[in-house]
Amino acid sequence: MCGSLATASFSDINVDKTQPTITVAATADSTPYLSGTWTNKPVVLTFTCTDDGPNQSGVASVSGPLTIATPGATPGGTGTCTDVAGNRADPAVFLGPILIDVEIPTCSVLVSSDPIGPANQKLIPVATTILAVDDRSGIESVRLSSVTSNRPGTASSDISGFTTGIDDRTGSLRTTKGNTYTLTYVVVDRAGNQRAACTGVVSVS
């Protein structure tokens, strides 16, 4: 007597040999960040993994966001992902450098002559020299914010030739005895850090 022959069958065997795909995007304060540019914000690298198609198993894991906040230059960052079948994506690499500067620049204002005189109520030329230093990203811009007098009632006629909003370092001040003038500059570095009150004071002798 012959024994019985049992058979078995399998269905729904799914094979996935395709690597998932991973991409990376960099942002600084939610704004796209370009490699090699200076910022004063942490840079966040966000990784996106895809594993789509009729013979692909779907995403199992992906690297979480990578935050880079260390001042100075960072080479970049790397992330990866795997699919349900265990295939691993080629690493996604954000090639830096990522440049971060959080230090406010330093500055001082030197006036060509202080005090000015003699006190004969004439307008005389005055020039300033701005000593601005930023040891990391460097100075981006200098602009004159204001020129004010301790006697605001006559300031419009006592102050001449200075243009605010630009890098203006020359003008004229009236030599009225007792007058004191304050020149204020704004200094910004390449990362966007701002020194908003860089001042020089001039008095009339």
Per-residue pLDDT, 181: 98
pLDDT over 70 for what percent of the chain?
Answer: 93
Average of per-residue pLDDT across 83-99: 94
78-87 pLDDT tens trace? 999 999 989 9
pTM, to two decimals:
0.84
Residues 6+ apart with CB under 8 A from 116: 124, 126, 173, 175, 202, 203, 204, 205
Nearest to 119 by CA among 185, 195, 56, 179: 179
141-189 pLDDT tens trace? 999 999 999 999 999 999 999 999 999 999 999 999 999 999 999 999 9
